[in-house]
Amino acid sequence: MKTKLFLSIAASLVIFACGKKEDESTAKVNKAAPAAAKQKIIGMSQCNLGEPWRVQMNEDIRLAAAKRPELKIIFKDAQNDSLKQVAQIEEFISAGVDAIIVSPKEAAPLTPVIKTAFEKGIPVIVLDRRVNGDKYTCFIGADNKKIGKAAGEWIVKKLGGKGNIIELKGLMTSTPGQDRHSGFRAGIKGSDLEIIFEADMKWLEPQARKEMESALARFKDINLVYAHNDPGAHGAYLAAKAAGREKEMLFVGIDGLPQEGRMYVKQGVLAASFEYPTGGKEAVDTVVDIFGGKKPEKEITLKSHVFTKENIDKGGEWL
Ligand code: FRU
């Protein structure tokens, strides 16, 4: 009796085990087939990977896409060369990608190729820097005019309405440079702040350092450096430090990455950093919505924090 019972349990276990095995493998095949058929290719053209902020943007895209096995992202780095970036988008078009995410180096040179992709019916998400006109699917970025204005107003308050300012501008053929400049000028309007020196440092820390060396050589009395990004503000700080003058003035930047601007604020290197979110996650979410048949907003505006010594430990303050 006992042996019979044992045998029948053993037999049913074998049957169960086989059945389970078969179920699993069938499930695998069934899962694999539609997933492979459904996989969508997204071409991502990054204007350069020289700054931590852009490395972070790619990482944000990668992390958001990792949660969605139906997406495959092809990353390309244009190495700060607009012509190379145009060629990358042309390649994406001829490869027949399902969508394009692009963070353009400059507005004018990238406008025609993005228009071509868009008019061929490829969804195009323009991230962070704008192109001219409206021939793209969706633009995602924070409000650079608002950030520039808030920086201007914060500086007016901080300096009691007067002082000598150096403005180190981002690449002025890119829209964040133009907007951070015009916003800032609006923010300081009516005050007695004087811009004694301004230069285009093209978003680059070494270039900012060089420009700051010239400014230091020319001006004895500098109260504050407003740089359009944190690498620029840090480059200016390094130049002032090398001249033994970093304590004479304040440094303000934009980006507010935890490992960069926020860290500089904590260390007392920057007086303030204004957040410029990368939009990487929002770009992937928007592409997913488009694949799901939703029409995205033409413009998605991301919010920013300001980080200062007073608020950094509380996570900054919304603008
Ligand atoms: C990086 C960067 C950022 C800046 C953004 C503007 O290349 O310069 O520091 O916020 O681009 O597009």
**For atom 6 of ligand 1, which residue has the closest CA?**
176
Tell me the C-alpha distance between 13 and 259, whole Å.
55
- Output the CA 306–ligand 1 centroid distance in Å: 16
With the most atoms of ligand 1 within 8 angstroms of its CB, the residue from 207, 276, 278 to mutate is 276
Q: Which residue has the tokens 């071409």?
A: 43
- Output the CA 203–ligand 1 centroid distance in Å: 6
3-state SS class at 3: helix
- Output the CA 53–ligand 1 centroid distance in Å: 7
For the purposes of burial, counting CB atoms within 10 Å of the CB of 314, is it exposed (0-12), middle (13-18) or buried (19 or more)?
exposed
Note the pLDDT of residue 37.
55
Tell me the C-alpha distance between 24 and 295, whole Å.
37
- Output the CA 236–ligand 1 centroid distance in Å: 16
Matching fold, domains 39-141+279-301 and 144-277+308-318: yes
Note the pLDDT of residue 240.
98
Q: Which residues line ligand 1 (CB under 6 A)?
A: 51, 53-54, 128-129, 170, 174, 176, 203, 229, 231, 254-255, 276
CATH topology of domain 144-277+308-318: Rossmann fold (3.40.50)
Q: Which atom of ligand 1 is nearest to the CA of 170?
A: 8
Q: Which atom of ligand 1 is nearest to the CA of 175?
A: 12
Tell me the C-alpha distance between 254 and 278, whole Å.
12
- Output the CA 299–ligand 1 centroid distance in Å: 19
pTM over 0.85: yes
Q: What is the dihedral of CA 247, 248, 253, 258, to 10 degrees?
A: 10
Q: Which atom of ligand 1 is nearest to the CA of 50?
A: 7
Q: Using one digit for the tens of pLDDT, what is the confidence trace for 14-47? A: 333 333 333 333 333 344 444 455 799 999 999 9
Angle at Cα 141 formed by Cα 139 and Cα 142, nearest 5°? 145
- Choose among 181, 158, 155: nearest CA to 170: 181
- Choose among 4, 16, 6, 68: nearest CA to 42: 68
With the most atoms of ligand 1 within 8 angstroms of its CB, the residue from 80, 145, 228, 255 to mutate is 255
Note the pLDDT of residue 12.
39
Per-residue pLDDT tens digits of the chain, which is 319 residues long: 444 434 443 443 333 333 333 333 333 334 444 445 579 999 999 999 999 999 999 999 999 999 999 999 999 999 999 999 999 999 999 999 999 999 999 999 999 999 999 999 999 999 999 999 999 999 999 999 999 999 999 999 999 999 999 999 999 999 999 999 999 999 999 999 999 999 999 999 999 999 999 999 999 999 999 999 999 999 999 999 999 999 999 999 999 999 999 999 999 999 999 999 999 999 999 999 999 999 999 999 999 999 999 999 999 999 9
Q: Cα 112 to the chain's mean position, in Å?
A: 22
- Output the CA 128–ligand 1 centroid distance in Å: 8
- Output the CA 105–ligand 1 centroid distance in Å: 9
Residue extents of the structural domains in the chain: 39-141+279-301, 144-277+308-318
Amino acid at 176: P
Note the pLDDT of residue 38.
77
Strand order in the sheet with 305-308: 192-200, 162-169, 224-227, 250-255, 272-275, 305-308, 317-318
74 bridge partner residues: 43
3-state SS class at 106: coil
Say if residues 255 and 270 touch (Cβ distance below 8 Å). Answer: no
The yes or no reply on domain 39-141+279-301 and CATH 3.40.50.2300 is yes
Tell me the C-alpha distance between 153 and 79, whole Å.
35
Q: Which atom of ligand 1 is nearest to the CA of 254?
A: 10
Q: Which atom of ligand 1 is nearest to the CA of 231?
A: 9
User: Distance from first CA to last CA of the chain, Å, rounded?
Assistant: 80
